[in-house]
Structure 1
Amino acid sequence: MPLDTARPESRPERLTAHEARQRLEHERDSRLVQLKAIEEAGREADDHPMAVQKDSLQRVLKDIGAAFGRVDDGTYGTCQECAQPIPVERLEILPYARCCVGCQRRSA
């Protein structure tokens, strides 16, 4: 049997709404745990780096909320800049991504 006849599993081009919600819920839950830890530590000391981390986490939570909205309205996984599909690999790593890598680089 020739080796080239074995085909690797093909990746889907898009995440299902259920998969997207699961990934987003995991990200949200992780960030909420981090935010709670920072808030508890912040009671003990007024630390500028902690405030920066807290602001960053709150921005990510806002982005995650917006991603849930995109799942609901059917636009999740579509780049908000070029309207092309965002690769599944990117969404697996950053499920709240709004743009494809190319558009993200151009806007940065």
Structure 2
Amino acid sequence: MSLDLPRTDPRGKTRVASPAADEIRQRLEHARSTRVAQLKALDETGQSPDDHLMSTQKDAIRRVLTEIDEAFARVEDGTYGTCLGCGKAVPPERLEILPHTRHCVACQRRAV
């Protein structure tokens, strides 16, 4: 699978969306639906809302859902697949594993 997305051409115009963009949207939608199902399952466990571990898990899932929504926005504006840290392309293998990632591995390590 190629994750090459339409980029802005030298005149500053965004090219038309490609089939790769549709595939990326599908990956992101799958990631979103998986996280929503996880949240629902945690809500259905009947555990106390004061449970620290449960609260931490829910917060982490909500953060990922926010990152997924931000990734959808990057697909739309043509910046998906570009590291927000260094501006270089995020390797396609990383995007396959974490389609919502904002950074290449090197920048992610620096951010932690």
TM-score of the pair, normalised by structure 1: 0.83
Contact 2:82 2:90 in 1 (8 A): yes
Task: Letter of the 2:26 partner, please give it.
Answer: Q
Which residue of the other structure, out of 2, 14, 17, is the alignment partner of 2:4? 14
1:45 Cα deviation from its structure 2 partner = 2.7
Which residue of the other structure, out of 40, 43, 60, is the alignment partner of 2:44? 40
SS of residue matched to 2:32: helix
5+ residue gaps, structure 2: 6-19
Alignment RMSD (CA, Å): 1.4
Deviations 1:25-68, CA, capped at 9 Å, x for gaps? 00000000000011111x44332211110000000000000000
For the residues of structure 1 that align with 2:63 and 2:2, how far apart are their CA atoms? 29
> In the comparison of the two structures, how many residue pairs are matched?
97
Relative contact order higher in (CA < 8 Å, ≥ 6 apart): 1
Task: Letter of the 1:93 partner, please give it.
Answer: I
Give percent identity, aligned residues only.
55
Q: Which has the higher helix share?
A: 1
For the residues of structure 1 that align with 2:111 and 2:31, how far apart are their CA atoms? 24
1:96 Cα deviation from its structure 2 partner = 0.3
TM-score of the pair, normalised by structure 2: 0.80
Task: Letter of the 1:62 partner, please give it.
Answer: T
SS of residue matched to 1:102: helix
5+ residue gaps, structure 1: 1-10
